[in-house]
Amino acid sequence: MTEVEQADRFARAREAQSVALIEDYVEMIGDLIAELGEARVADIAERMGVAQPTATKAIARLKRDGFATSRPYRGVFLTEEGAELAERVRARHRTVVALLVAVGVPEEIAELDAEGIEHHVSEQSLKAFEDFLQGK
Amino acid sequence: MTEVEQADRFARAREAQSVALIEDYVEMIGDLIAELGEARVADIAERMGVAQPTATKAIARLKRDGFATSRPYRGVFLTEEGAELAERVRARHRTVVALLVAVGVPEEIAELDAEGIEHHVSEQSLKAFEDFLQGK
DNA sequence: GATGATCTATAGCCTATGCTATATTTAAAT
DNA sequence: ATTTAAATATAGCATAGGCTATAGATCATC
């Protein structure tokens, strides 16, 4: 492996990381809307395990990036793009957990680890996971 | 899953992330020392794909955290703790790549994805991976 | 409808991680 | 030995993502 290839690999991992939090927030907001009809900042903050202003700031980034919308002092909603991302993330999470369990990781551990792992699973790996799970 | 459990899960993923870069640098420095006898800042920066001052700053954090040592304008070396971490990271990386390949991920993709995934694989999952790879 | 509780926004702070530009030191070459 | 090239450090800046404290808006209740 050349230095450049190695560098690209790390650049890729850094990029994935910068997307990870966005994905988590979007999925969480989708969950809350499904459960409660809307996603309030306080609920988002509580579930993400961060202080309320931290959630507010993250939501501002989601809005800036076109994944969410909201009016002051009101609930947060997903744009079409946000809703699609949430669904992809949810599906990927399920697949990663299932894969981990399939290779012998205890269910609880699988759920914990998947939260971090899922953001680094490429389309190709996801496809491989799905095929493996179907016994192909 | 309760809100608190969910929050803890995210907190865990955030913690793993903060350790990830440290692990990458330590492993990289170990590689360079093995190959070249010492790890120069310029080489570290090039392989990590970052500007030289970014590497310098990261190395300062490694030193602060007890993983590396260096004198101004000289090479960077690992402490005992750093060397142990490097070896653990290297072994984990190999296992993760092997697991991915074992479930059908193409070698190249496995290498790419492993770079991000490995930092979120717990001891328990790693053990499960090893057992799975040994056909248990 | 005033009032108190709750929720949200804002201000201001911190660290980590990136960058460019530039000063300084070391190493190499004449 | 001086000069130049290369490597490293430092200064200064930006964004992301945390935090606390506090101001402001909304909601519920009397």
Calpha distance B40→A86 (Å, rounded): 43
CB of residue A72 closer than 7 A to nucleic acid strand C? Answer: yes
Confidence of residue A9 (pLDDT cuts 50, 70, 90): very high
pLDDT of residue A5: 85
Q: What is the ipTM of this complex?
A: 0.93
- Domains annotated on chain A, with CATH: 3-81 (1.10.10.10), 85-133 (1.10.60.10)
Measured on CA atoms in the order B24, B27, B30, B32, is the torsion positive or negative?
negative
Neighbours of B106 (CB within 10 A): 13
- How far, in whole angstroms, is CA B28 from its chain's centroid? 8
Among A7, A116, A131, whose Cβ lies nearest the Cβ of B49?
A: A7
Which residues have C-beta within 8 Å of that of residue B11, sequence separation ≥ 6?
Answer: A49
pLDDT for A1: 78
Q: What confidence score (pLDDT) does residue B136 get?
A: 67
Interface test with A, best of B5, B9, B134 (most A CBs within 10 A): B9
Per-residue pLDDT in tens (0 to 9) along chain B, 136 residues: 787 889 999 999 999 998 999 999 999 999 999 999 999 999 999 999 999 999 999 999 999 999 999 999 999 999 999 999 999 999 999 999 999 999 999 999 999 999 999 999 999 999 999 999 998 6
> Strand ranges (DSSP E) for A2-135?
68-70, 76-78
Q: Yes or no: say if A52 and A42 are a contact pair by the CB < 8 Å rule.
A: yes
Q: Are B27 and B88 in contact (CB under 8 A)?
A: no
pLDDT of residue B73: 98
Whether pLDDT at A2 is above 70: yes
Averaged pLDDT for residues A67-80: 98
pLDDT at A79 over 90: yes
Q: Judge contact between A67 and A78, C-beta under 8 A.
A: yes
Q: Which of A103, A105, A116 is the closest to B120 by Cβ?
A: A116
Is the CB of B106 less than 8 angstroms away from the CB of A128?
yes
State the Cα–Cα distance between residues B53 and B39, nearest whole angstrom.
Answer: 15
DSSP state of A49: T
Residues of A with CB under 8 A from a CB of B: 3, 6-13, 16-17, 20, 24, 46-50, 99-100, 103-106, 109-113, 115-117, 119-122, 124-125, 128-129, 131-132
Task: Give mean pLDDT, residues A45-71.
Answer: 98
d(CA B113, C1' D5) / Å? 39
User: What pLDDT was estimated at residue A3?
Assistant: 78
Substitution target in A1, A2, A3, A14 with the highest count of B β-carbons within 10 Å is A14
DSSP B119: G
Q: Enumerate the residues of chain B whose CB falls inside 8 A of the CB of residue A120.
A: 113, 115-117, 120
CA of A28 vs chain B CAs: smallest distance (Å): 10
- Please report the pLDDT score of residue A4 as a whole number: 85
The pLDDT > 90 percentage for chain A reads 94
